[in-house]
Amino acid sequence: MIAESLSGRKIAITGSTGFVGTALVERLLRSAPGCELFLIIRGGRRGAASRVKREILSNDAFDRLRDMHASSTASFDAMTARRVHALDGDISVDGLSLNETDRALLASCDIVIHSAAAVSFDSPLDSAVEVNLLGPTRLAALLNELHPSGTNMPHLVAVSTCYVAGNRRGTAPEQLVSEGPFDIGLSWKAEVASARRLRSDVEAASRTPKVLEGFRKGARRELGAAGAPALAAKTEQLRERWVSSELVQAGRSRAASVGWPDAYAFTKALGEQALTETKGALPVNIVRPSIIESAVLEPKPGWIRGFRMAEPVIISYARGLLREFPGVPEGTVDVIPVDLVVAAIVAVAAAGPEKSPYITQVASGSTNPLRYSDLVNNVRDWFTEHPIYDAEGQPIVVPDWRFPGRGRVQQQLSRAKTAITQGERVLQALPLRGAQAAWSAKLDEKRIEVERALEYVELYGLYTECEAIYSIDNLLSLWDQLDQKDQQDFCFDPRVVNWDHYVKEVHLPSVVDHARVKMTPGKTKTDRAVRLRANVLSPDRKVAAFDLENTLIASNVVESYSWLATRHLNNAERARYFLRTMKEAPTLLSMDRKDRSDFLRYFYRRYEDAPVDQIAIDTQQMMTDIIIAKSFPAAIRRVREHRALGHKTILITGALTFNVEGLRPLFDEIVGAEMSIRPDGTYSGQLTKAPPTGETRAQVLADYCASLGVHLDDCVAYADSTSDLPLLEAVGHPVAVNPETRLASIARKRGWLVEDWAKAAGAPKRILPFAPLMNERQR
């Protein structure tokens, strides 16, 4: 009967890219072959129609439907082209910003299913308000506007959540909260106004000098001397993150203060209230699912979209990260498989506004409860049988769950977080490179994991402690009205779920599959670096840019200078030179930290009065003694590989060009600092061209590429420090070479190729970067 009553109907759906929305589209296409769908979706850059194809129809939910069509004459694509239409609309804007054509299409719809929501439990308060609270109201207002006569009104089915009932014990009936005994008389309009005000207040607060200074400091700590543009971008990102987290915090505390677990449930509850108040003549029904999890049967067992609430917690547990999770062992976790929710929504839509109850809850707790302790035991048993393997290929033993209180778990995690953060700071302060720097990157990952675990505990802890029982009388009466065929095709009876089977055979296999965790023993051979390297050395690349210090050679401008300066000195003079330099070292170091190019300019004044001819002879010897002796053979090989592939190579360095003359055959172009020569044949100590440092390096490369007519996406850049971040970010293929700690963690996060290049094992070693002592005759 359901299929028949939906036949010929036009159904508009919001939130179709979501978990429930996708399942809904699939079920309607497959089980109600007569209906037509109009998906209201934010077009963005790609456009609504393209998003429908890419983000909805290509989901594996449609595999079953595709298979069915493979054997029939009409192709899947032809069927969806005929039955699925995209409307470009945004639920967070009044009128949904639909164009005239789309408005007309929406006006022609018989049923509108609203499943769009900011489902994240930690969305900022104002965006939760805009979407969850105002979304249904906006939709209702638009539908009223499209049907001014009040006739032929479409039927609006709004998807809400059981948790609108708030933190309470005992039965939560299928009625509006505002009509229940625990209503505290909140005004949704006042909440909307205050949320919007809060946004502007927080935005303002984030721009005060003191707070901004904090962001700048944070950016500097994370990136180091990466140059003004990079630091500015990072600072702004930190500010935006701060605003967002303030608003998340505000949402959480506001919700808690009025009796809801989080901003999601809170705004959903007020959303129901607002919709009821403003719907006017529009026929409305509300469907309230509890915690929606993977499908028990339709479209296929275990089907799930996105990483949902329980999954991250389960995976963190299986990884041994979350050793404990709060909860009441005998409490109920009200989980409902997605196919049951979808069936209930379709049933309500098919039954029509008259035959459906105003509110229908889809939950399992009252008739077929899943005990928290059963869930936990099933999870532990399953992972004991099918452990996740760590990077070393060793199985991870899952811990015993002791059902501690929330406070204790939080305390443990925060302690861990503090320890890790401090460790990270220490590592970042140390002058580490290459493999050691990777520790920091690993620690960074660990910290993010702990932070996430802490979030889960804060967010979901309440749900495992919730002791409300959601009554489903309306749902069951709807069920009883269905004929046998509908009951078979559109099953939404929570009593049919066998939880043990569901958890072990359906849900967990699907979760580990989605999380792409390692389920087989043995060490993984990481072919990622190999792949990235092949990509970097592809003939399609055009230009390879190299930094010098610590990328090609383990040396620096100070060493080159010392070598040249001591070349003609005797022992006593060398000792004096050494003492003088040591005395100056702290000043030089702090200058270098503050601004690289100021430091170079200051340092290069030392070359004043140096005879050009002598330097030319000496640098040739220095090339052997310092540059080649301290070079990374693999780095030189890489430069040559690029050249062999026909790539242009460019050396971008703060060193004086006459000091790196010996490297000329490796590069098509050397951009460095250049010094003017006086008429008497000595160096002036003054630079004619500023040394390229920080963001100017990116500019140098961009200019070079422009002169060749090459796009930066086809470039490879090799550098070792965060001060080269602008250069690395500018190109399509960045490579971090022996990265210092900060760059190591950035490279790891962004999936850049990391190369650990070392000096030749037999390279001669010198304690001080002095030229070999000459005897009297040689001098």
Partner 1 sequence: MPRPGFVLDVDRSTPPILFWRGENYSLEKLPADRSRVIYAPEPEAAIEDIDSAIRHALLNPIEMDPLPTLLFPGMKLTIAFDDISLPLPKMTRPDIRQRVIESVLDLAAEAGVDDVHIIAALALHRRMTEDELRHMLGDRVYDAFAPRGMLYQHDAEDQDNLALLGETPQGEEVEINKRAAESDLLVYVNINLVAMDGGWKSTATGLSSYRSLRHHHNTHTMENSRSFMDQHKSELHKSNWRMGEIMKKHGPKIFQIETTVNNDTFPSAFNFLGKREWEWNARDRAKFVASSAALSRTPARMRRNIFQSIEAPHQMTSIQAGEVEAVHKVTTANVYRQQLVEVQGQTDILTMGIPFICPYNVNSIMNPILVMCTGLGYFFNLYRNKPLVREGGVIIMTHPTTNEFHPVHHPSYIDFFEQVLTETTVPSELEARFEKKFAEDEWYKHLYRTGNAYHGVHPFYMWYWGSHALQHCGKVIIVGGDAPTIRRLGFTPASTFNDALEIASDVVGRSPTITHFHTPPIMIADVK
| 568 binds partner 1, rule: CB under 8 A | no
Instruction: Say which residue the tokens 């906006």 belong to.
Output: 138
The answer to whether 637 contacts partner 1 (rule: CB under 8 A) is: yes
Among 152, 170, 762, 767, binds partner 1 (CB under 8 A): 762
In the list 634, 645, 708, 710, the residue contacting partner 1 (rule: CB under 8 A) is 634
Q: Which is nearer to partner 1, 80 or 649 (CB)?
A: 649
Measured from the CB atom, is 645 or 700 closer to partner 1?
645
Q: In the complex with partner 1, which residue's Cβ is closer, 528 or 640? A: 640
761 binds partner 1 (CB under 8 A): yes
Closer to partner 1 by Cβ: residue 539 or 764: 764
Among 620, 676, 686, 688, binds partner 1 (CB under 8 A): 620
Closer to partner 1 by CB, 447 or 630: give it: 630
Q: In the complex, what is the shortest distance from the CB of residue 13 to partner 1, in angstroms, rounded to a whole number?
A: 58
Round to whole Å and give the CA distance between 296 and 483.
21
HEC per residue, 18-42: CHHHHHHHHHHHHHCCCCEEEEEEC
* Interface of this chain with partner 1, residues 494 to 513, rule: CB under 8 A: none
Q: Which of 662, 699, 708, 710 binds partner 1 (CB under 8 A)?
A: 662
Decide if residue 759 touches partner 1 (CB under 8 A). Answer: yes
Residues 439, 444, 445, 451: is their CA dihedral positive or negative? positive
Which residue stretch of 36-44, 85-93, 226-234, 617-625 sits at the interface with partner 1 (rule: CB under 8 A)? 617-625
Point out which span in 25-33, 214-222, 632-640, 736-744 binds partner 1 (CB under 8 A).
632-640
Q: Which two tokens stand for residue 750?
A: 């962004």
For helices 406-429 and 741-750, the axis angle rounded to 10 degrees is 120
16 by Cβ neighbours in 10 Å (0-12 / 13-18 / 19+) ranks as buried
Shortest Å, Cβ 720 to partner 1: 19
Q: Is 760 in the site for partner 1 (CB under 8 A)?
A: yes
One residue of 487, 631, 693, 722 binding partner 1 per CB under 8 A: 631
537 binds partner 1 (CB under 8 A): no
Residue span 665-704 as binding mask against partner 1, x where in contact by CB under 8 A, dash where not: xx--------------------------------------
| Binding span for partner 1 by CB under 8 A among 194-202, 380-388, 538-546, 662-670 | 662-670
Q: Among 628, 645, 677, 708, indicate the residue that binds partner 1 (CB under 8 A).
A: 628
Binding partner 1 (rule: CB under 8 A), the pick from 624, 676, 686, 688 is 624
Report which of 212, 271, 278, 284 is spatially closest to residue 243, judged by C-alpha positions.
212
Which three-class secondary structure string do you get for 172-188? ECCCCHHHCCCCCCCCH
Does the footprint of partner 1 cover residue 71 (CB under 8 A)? no
Q: Which stretch binds partner 1 (CB under 8 A): 141-149, 211-219, 603-611, 627-635?
A: 627-635
Minimum CB distance to partner 1 smaller for 586 or for 764: 764
Among 169, 210, 525, 765, binds partner 1 (CB under 8 A): 765
**Token digits for 486?**
């509908």
Regarding 420 and contact with partner 1 (CB under 8 A), the answer is no
Any contact of residue 485 with partner 1 (CB under 8 A)? no
CA 123 – CA 129 distance, rounded (Å): 10
Is 638 a binding residue for partner 1 by CB under 8 A? The answer is no
Q: For residues 501 and 437, what is the distance between their CA atoms, to the nearest angstrom?
A: 46
> CA 163, CA 265: separation in Å to the nearest integer?
6
User: 106 with 98: CB under 8 angstroms?
Assistant: yes
Quick one: which segment of 371-379, 477-485, 497-505, 624-632 binds partner 1 (CB under 8 A)?
Answer: 624-632
Note whether 647 binds partner 1 by CB under 8 A.
no
Residue 571 CB, shortest distance to partner 1, in Å, is 17
Q: Which is nearer to partner 1, 524 or 620 (CB)?
A: 620
Strand partners, 284: 156
Site membership for partner 1, residue 758 (CB under 8 A): no
Q: Are 31 and 83 in contact (CB under 8 A)?
A: no
Question: Binding to partner 1 by residue 636, rule CB under 8 A?
Answer: yes
Nearer to partner 1, 630 or 647 (CB): 630
- Compute the least distance from the CB of residue 685 to partner 1, in Å: 27
β-pairing, 733-737 vs 715-719, is parallel
701-724 per-residue burial string, b: 16 or more CB within 10 A, e: under 16: beebbeebebebebbbbbbbbbbb
Q: Which two tokens stand for residue 168?
A: 């309470």
Residue 474 CB-half CA count within 13 A: 24
With beta carbons less than 8 A apart as the criterion, state whether 678 and 605 touch. Answer: no
Residue 384 near partner 1 by CB under 8 A: no
State the Rg of the chain over Cα: 33
Distance in Å, CB of 692 to partner 1, minimum:
24
Residue placing its CB nearer to partner 1 in the complex, 72 or 571? 571
Nearest distance in Å: CB 534, partner 1: 16
Between 52 and 623, CB nearer to partner 1: 623
Q: How far is the CB of 778 from partner 1 (least distance, A)?
A: 6
CB 459 within 8 A of CB 308: no
Alpha-carbon gap, residue 370 to 78, rounded angstroms: 43
Tokens (6 digits) for 460 = 């979901």
Cβ-proximal residues to 298 (8 Å cutoff; 6+ apart), any chain: 23, 27, 339, 342, 343
Tell the smallest beta-carbon distance from residue 427 to partner 1 (Å).
29
Decide if residue 233 touches partner 1 (CB under 8 A). Answer: no
485, burial (CB in 10 Å: exposed 0-12, middle 13-18, buried 19+) = exposed
Q: Give yes or no for residue 646 binding partner 1 (CB under 8 A).
A: no
623 contacts partner 1 (rule: CB under 8 A): yes
What is the smallest separation between the CB atom of 231 and partner 1, expressed in angstroms? 37
* Contact residue for partner 1 among 633, 699, 708, 714 (CB under 8 A): 633
How do beta strands 733-737 and 753-755 pair? parallel
Helices then strands, counting H and E runs in the chain, come out as 30, 18
CA 589 to each of CA 306, 548, 582, 594, 754: distance values in angstroms, whole numbers, following the listed order: 49, 19, 11, 9, 27
Give the Cβ contact number of residue 78 at 10 Å. 11
Does an H or E element contain 579, and which? helix 571-594
Are residues 454 and 410 in contact, defined by beta-carbon separation less than 8 angstroms? Answer: yes
Q: Which is nearer to partner 1, 629 or 730 (CB)?
A: 629
In this complex, which beta carbon is closest to partner 1, that of residue 496 or of residue 616? 616
Smaller CB distance to partner 1: residue 259 or 633? 633
When binding is defined by CB under 8 A, the residue of 425, 593, 640, 750 that contacts partner 1 is 640
Bridge partner list, 85 = 38
Q: Does 583 contact partner 1 by CB under 8 A?
A: no
- The residues that touch partner 1, with contacts defined as CB under 8 A, are 620, 623-625, 628-631, 633-634, 636-637, 640, 662, 665-666, 759-765, 777-778
